[in-house]
């Protein structure tokens, strides 16, 4: 199975009641890659992610993780496999301290206190800002810090693959750059990333490959660099004439 | 009221009392048990002066009120797990009490000769059955409804209370609205009955139940499960993303809550000998919730205090008023209104409840909690800044995983 992709979606359909939000998606993520899924509002990006994490599973099709079908699993079992998502809108625990938020990330694993502290230090090394605020309540952080915390918390879960849902949403441009630097750094440590974004420019620069989703269907699929140069993408998502 | 509660002297005193209390370690449970066994005797004999307020509740009347208080403490402890810790608004909690009580009646030698029984057992043997039935009801209610959130869950649980009550009211086997009488008292070794000199101290039956419930809930709170509940309460989406088995944890909260209620139902039935649907109006479910909220959501000590207030205060008001009238109403009739007022006052001055849980205390000050630390720490370190500012240090500490006596709320 050496050549089996890490994560593979085969003809995945997702329904909300009678409405079909995702209509037969095929998508793969290989070891070590950053793959991005870009598209506008309501295109089915978040739905795809929720299908992978089995929060709202697919109505048809297969999701394979290292060749194994995970569509029969409950969402917390998916997390135990190492498929970790950072939900849209960050969703940190507002009344837990920064350190407690991070510890929540490691909760589905059994970790000795000493090792946990080492892992916390590792995260604080990645995000020095969080270290300064480790005892502060999560809800009192700024938007960017909260996003860092959400990513840090996901990393504490030791992801085999990390899925980020619009990490740039609602953040100032400078902070967005910071977030993408972090994404690059996390990937450089060997964690494959599935990045869902509306900010196509940033996402395609960060990714190796990209998919474009429109009304529930993949309309384009290519190397990220080629997509950046693609006319259709430039017009629809990069705001060029 | 606010001035009294925030008075530094009173605060220092209560802090010292708490420090002393927790310094006793596990021994404090023994002390609590001793007090709960002794106080009824002292009260019943009228040894307490009236200024202690408890002094108004003497004689058999007083011990009966203490019994009810004990039952409600059990209820409040259980509901506190569901509402305070897991954050699930349950408005029909007394349904589990009803189920525990009726199960007891239907498994013991109760009622007339025609009365239906599942089995006729010793009342002690009915206890585990009542417990299990209440817990199963928790699962049955929980599994389909816990996908709902907030208001919707509240409405369903409200309906659950009425469904159970109306079922008991209309079933042949429960004797309908006439209820079931003659539920036997459990006999006790040596004396054969609870009490001294022929006075039955039924609240003694509650003492071990309450202490066990407190110990169980405390351990749950400090365990992985407790942290899961906190995560669920704070943000369900994030909890799910972090691998918290959401539905399982919610059902577990319901089941734990139902268990104390089932035991309370058993004690209630075997003490009163008689139960009918009229003993369990919807108002009771609401009042248990009031008790938990007044005491402090998520706080174990708060649940105990809240339940004691909800039951004893109206009775004390009734006795102390001695039939006095205000605006043509006697105070006795309006004693429930005292609650409304009390609840409003508590919510204004202590939004987290009288004995707020530490984490809740911070949650409720959410807007600018950090600012408060900065602005208040300077002039008056003894005051509110202390709990707010120190809170993260306490819970963040090195013993998050290992339940220790030091990390407890009070």
Indicate yes or no: CB of A135 within 8 angstroms of CB of B224: no
Q: Do B168 and B21 have their domain in common? A: yes
Question: ipTM for the complex?
Answer: 0.84
Indicate yes or no: CB of B402 within 8 angstroms of CB of A113: yes
B232 to chain A: closest CA residue? A93
Left (φ > 0), alpha (ψ -120 to 50) or beta: where does B115 sit? beta
Indicate yes or no: CB of A107 within 8 angstroms of CB of B228: yes
Q: Do B297 and B365 have their domain in common? A: no
Indicate yes or no: CB of B366 within 8 angstroms of CB of A107: no
Q: Do B263 and B395 have their domain in common? A: no
Q: Do B99 and B36 have their domain in common? A: yes
Q: Do B316 and B172 have their domain in common? A: yes
- Of B304, B351, B307, B359, the C-alpha closest to B85 is B359
Which of B243, B359, B402 is nearest residue A108 as measured by Cβ atoms? B243
CATH code for position B261: 1.10.3470
Which of A95, A99, A153 is nearest residue B242 as measured by Cβ atoms? A153
Q: Do B197 and B124 have their domain in common? A: yes
Q: Do B27 and B80 have their domain in common? A: yes
**Domain span holding position B398:** 357-410
3-class SS of residue B342: helix
Q: Do B346 and B368 have their domain in common? A: no
Q: Do B78 and B182 have their domain in common? A: yes
Domain boundary among B336, B356, B376: B356
Looking at beta carbons, which pairs linking B381-388 to residues 24 or more positions away fall under 8 Å?
A: B382/B8, B382/B11, B382/B12, B383/B6, B383/B8, B383/B11, B384/B6, B387/B358, B387/B361, B388/B361, B388/B362
Segment 98-157 of chain A within 8 Å of chain B by CB: 99-100, 103-105, 107-108, 113, 116, 134-137, 139-140, 150, 153-154, 157
Which of B227, B234, B359 is nearest residue A107 as measured by Cβ atoms? B227
| Residue of A49, A104, A133, A147 to mutate, interface with B, max B Cβ within 10 Å | A104
pLDDT band at B396 (very low <50, low <70, confident <90, very high): very low
Predicted local distance difference test score (pLDDT) of residue A2: 53
| Least confident residue range of A31-35, A228-232, B139-143 | A228-232
- For B325-337, the pLDDT digits (tens) are 777 666 667 767 7
Domain boundary among B327, B356, B385: B356
Residue A179: burial class (beta carbons within 10 Å; 0-12, 13-18, 19+): buried
Q: Do B393 and B309 have their domain in common? A: no
Which of B231, B238, B362 is nearest residue A137 as measured by Cβ atoms? B362
| Crossing angle for the helix pair B246-272 and B123-145, to the nearest 10 degrees | 150
* Average pLDDT of every residue of chain B: 80
Q: Do B396 and B262 have their domain in common? A: no
Distance CA A49, CA A191 (A): 17
pLDDT over 70 for what percent of chain B?
Answer: 80
Rg of chain B, C-alpha, whole Å: 22
- For B357-384, the pLDDT digits (tens) are 766 555 554 433 333 333 333 333 333 3
Contact A43, A215 (CB under 8 A): yes
Distance CA B89, CA B87 (A): 6
Q: What's the total number of domains in chain B?
A: 2
- For B24-55, the pLDDT digits (tens) are 878 888 888 888 888 888 887 878 887 878 87
Cβ contacts of B375 on chain A, cutoff 8 Å: none
Q: Do B116 and B130 have their domain in common? A: yes
Q: What angle do CA A121, A124, A130 make, to 5 degrees?
A: 140
Q: Is A79 on the interface with B (CB under 8 A)?
A: yes
Domain boundary among B356, B383, B398: B356
A111 to chain B: closest CA residue? B401
Global pTM reads 0.81
């Amino acid at each position: 199975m050496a050549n089996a992709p890490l994560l593979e979606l085969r003809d995945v359909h997702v329904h909300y009641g009678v409405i079909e939000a995702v209509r037969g998606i095929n998508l793969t993520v290989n070891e070590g890659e950053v793959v991005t899924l870009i598209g506008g509002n309501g295109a089915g990006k978040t739905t795809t992610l929720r299908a992978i994490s089995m929060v709202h599973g697919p109505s048809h099709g297969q999701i394979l993780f290292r060749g194994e079908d995970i569509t029969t699993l409950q969402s917390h079992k998916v997390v135990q496999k190492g498929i970790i998502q950072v939900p849209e809108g960050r969703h940190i625990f507002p009344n837990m301290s920064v350190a407690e938020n991070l510890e929540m990330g490691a909760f589905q694993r059994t970790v000795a206190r000493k090792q946990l502290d080492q892992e916390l230090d590792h995260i604080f090394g990645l995000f020095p800002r969080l270290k300064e605020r480790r005892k502060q309540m999560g809800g009192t952080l700024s938007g960017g810090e909260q996003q860092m915390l959400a990513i840090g918390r996901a990393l504490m879960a030791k992801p085999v693959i990390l899925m980020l849902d619009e990490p740039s949403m609602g953040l100032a441009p400078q902070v967005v750059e910071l977030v993408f630097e972090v994404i690059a750094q996390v990937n450089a440590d060997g964690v494959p990333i599935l990045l869902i974004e509306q900010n196509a420019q940033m996402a395609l620069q960060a990714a190796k490959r990209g998919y474009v989703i429109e009304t529930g269907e993949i309309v384009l699929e290519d190397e990220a660099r080629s997509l950046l140069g693609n006319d259709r993408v430039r017009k629809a998502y990069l705001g060029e004439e | 009221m606010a001035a009294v509660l925030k008075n530094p002297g009173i605060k220092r005193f209560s802090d010292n009392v708490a420090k002393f209390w927790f310094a006793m370690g596990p021994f404090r449970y023994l002390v609590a048990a001793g007090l709960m066994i002794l106080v009824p005797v002292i009260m019943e004999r009228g040894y307490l002066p009236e200024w202690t307020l408890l002094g108004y509740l003497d004689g058999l009347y007083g011990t009966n009120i203490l019994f009810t208080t004990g039952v409600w403490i059990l209820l409040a402890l259980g509901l506190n797990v569901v509402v305070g810790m897991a954050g699930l608004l349950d408005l029909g909690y007394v349904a589990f009490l009803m189920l525990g009580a009726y199960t007891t009646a239907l498994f013991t030698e109760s009622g007339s000769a025609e009365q239906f029984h599942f089995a006729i057992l010793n009342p002690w043997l009915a206890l585990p059955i009542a417990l299990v039935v209440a817990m199963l009801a928790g699962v049955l209610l929980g599994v389909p409804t816990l996908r709902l959130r907030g208001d919707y869950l509240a409405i369903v649980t409200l309906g659950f209370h009425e469904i159970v009550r109306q079922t008991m009211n209309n079933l042949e086997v429960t004797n309908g609205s006439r209820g079931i009488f003659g539920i036997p008292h459990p006999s006790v070794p040596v004396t054969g009955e609870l009490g001294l000199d022929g006075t039955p101290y039924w609240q003694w039956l509650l003492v071990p139940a309450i202490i066990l419930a407190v110990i169980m809930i405390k351990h749950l709170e400090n365990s992985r499960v407790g942290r899961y509940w906190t995560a669920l309460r704070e943000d369900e989406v994030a909890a799910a993303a972090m691998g918290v088995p959401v539905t399982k944890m919610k059902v577990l909260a319901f089941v734990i809550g139902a268990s104390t209620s089932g035991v309370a139902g058993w004690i209630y039935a075997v003490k009163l000998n008689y139960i009918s649907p009229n003993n369990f109006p919807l108002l009771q479910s609401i009042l248990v919730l009031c008790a938990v909220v007044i005491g402090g959501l998520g706080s174990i000590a708060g649940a105990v205090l809240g339940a004691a207030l909800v039951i004893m205060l109206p009775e004390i008001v009734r006795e102390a008023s001695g039939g006095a009238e205000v605006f043509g109403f006697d105070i006795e009739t309006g004693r429930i209104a005292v609650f409304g007022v009390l609840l409003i006052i508590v919510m204004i001055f202590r939004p987290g409840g009288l004995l707020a849980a530490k984490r809740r205390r911070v949650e409720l000050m959410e807007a600018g909690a950090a600012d408060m630390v900065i602005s208040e720490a300077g002039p008056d370190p003894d005051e509110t800044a202390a709990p707010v500012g120190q809170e993260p240090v306490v819970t963040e500490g090195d013993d998050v995983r290992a339940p220790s006596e030091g990390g407890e709320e009070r």
